[in-house]
Every structure is written in C-alpha cells, then in structure tokens.
Amino acid sequence: MDDDFGTGPLISADELAATLGRVTVLDVRYVMGGPAGRGEHAAGHVPGAAYVDLDDDLADPPGVGGRHPLPDEDRFEAAMRRAGVDPDRPVVVYDDWQGRAAARAWWLLRFHGHSDVRVLDGGWTAWRDGGHPVETGETGPVPGGFTVSPTKQMPAIGAGEVLGVEVLVDARAPERFRGETEPVDPVAGRVPGAVNVPTTANLDEDGRFLPPDRLREAYARVGADEATTVAAYCGSGVTAAHDVLAMEVAGIRAALYPGSWSEWVTDPERPVETG
C-alpha cells in the first residue's frame, strides 16, 4: 500500500476511499449467534468488497479445538482465493462488530503469510458515516493467487503453553472473566493467572481503536508490554484477535490462543479460576 497510508494494521474510511481499486476489500460482517452477514453484504457494501463468512471460511466446525478452531489451511486458502486475495496486493477487512470479526480475518491472513493486511477502523459504520459510496448486490471478484505460507508470521500457542505465558490476557467481558456468568460455554471462569482487558477497552466512544499511546497505557496496567511474553484468549478465539490487534497498534507483539476458553474447558483436568 502507498506510504501515504502508513504501515500500521489499521486504515481509516477516508484512506480506504482514496485507495479503492488498488486494494482487495473483504466484508466479514458477523453477529455471534445471529444470521450470516451475506444478506447485509448484498444490501450494501464497500464497492468491490467480497463477502467472507466467519463460520465457513475463517473457522473449522466446533469440536475439541473449541467453538471456532482455526480453519483447515487448504480450505482457508481456497476461500481467500475465491475472495480475490493475492499475495502482493494489500487487503482491507471490515465488519460491523467494531472490528472483532475483521480482526480474526486480519490475524489469519497475517498468520498465513500475507504481509499487508489492514482493518477498517470503525468498520461499516465509519464507511457509511463518512458518506462514501455503497454498492449493492453480489460481487464476483477475480480469483486470487494467495497461498498459505509454511512459515507462520504471527505467534500462536496451544493449550499446553498457556500457563507458561508471563501475561495472559482474557478479552471477554468482565463478568465472564470473573465467572459470574457464562452464556455460551459449559463452564464459567478463567484460565488461572489471566488478566482482563475486554475488547471494549480498545475502543473510543465511536467504536474506533484508541491511539497507540492510550492502548499502551491500557495494557501496561495489566503488565503487558514489549518486554514480556503476552498471549490473548477469549471464548472461542475470535474476539481475542481484537486484543492482539490492539496490542499490535500499541507496539506489543502478542500470541493468540486460538482454542481459547471453549477449548480449555473440554478437558476437566485443566484448572479453572473464578472471582
């Protein structure tokens, strides 16, 4: 992407509008527990944006690996090619969930070797509020040539490594972190020793990411900085990518625990903490 747009993982609606036609845009609108976003995409999307389904394209079926295990690499590669992703063309991803689903797509593309992926800061709301053009109907992107790299570019950890991380960040809402409620998974609580930075703490009142210095302060309060080993988890590994993205903006490289709480609790021998 042009140097005018910087090198960070976020892009503004105005910046995207200025570079349409030179980037691949992916619409990953998603509502947890709700209908897929394909209908929303057809009703209106960023011009040229291809729809990517989080459940079908960005995750494997639920199982012992959790509710949203990482997708099979061949299936992910095929999905990205269908969406028009090329290895040497910048990609911008957006949603209408304040970046939570878009962060999953950003992380997977970066993890599998794409070097230039941005999240639209403020998502679909920012695009519409900025008065930018809207396209309707289905899109038929030219198939891309993206290939999954055997060398992964973002850190990830498994269940066996979780307890060895210096700072383990739980991205869920505080009441779920404390184990006071658990609306989705069969066991309430958290991984012992985890600290809580809910995804809402990454955002301002307009649903955009806080500036880097504010994010550094937020994560420093729980002991996470560039000098510590940091990982993030959530319920199923989706919204944790939002915390990983926020830390990337802040200059902190954090690993993702993809299985997250939904995988952790499949083994009753794994410890659980509440309170």
234 given a catalytic annotation = yes
- C-alpha separations of 144 from 37, 81, 254 in Å: 22, 4, 29
Catalytic residue among 224, 231, 234, 241: 234
8 A C-beta contact, residue 40 and residue 10: no
Burial 3-29, CB ≥16 within 10 A → b, else e: eebeeebbbbbebbeebeeebbbbbbb
Q: Which element (helix H / strand E) includes 170?
A: strand 167-170
Structure tokens at 159: 């269940």
- Distance, in Å, from the CA atom of 9 to the CA atom of 25, rounded to the nearest integer, reads 14
> What is the distance between the terminal CA atoms of the chain, rounded to a whole angstrom?
46
Strand partners, 91: 24, 117
Q: How many CB atoms lie within 10 A of CB 81?
A: 16
Active site residues: 234
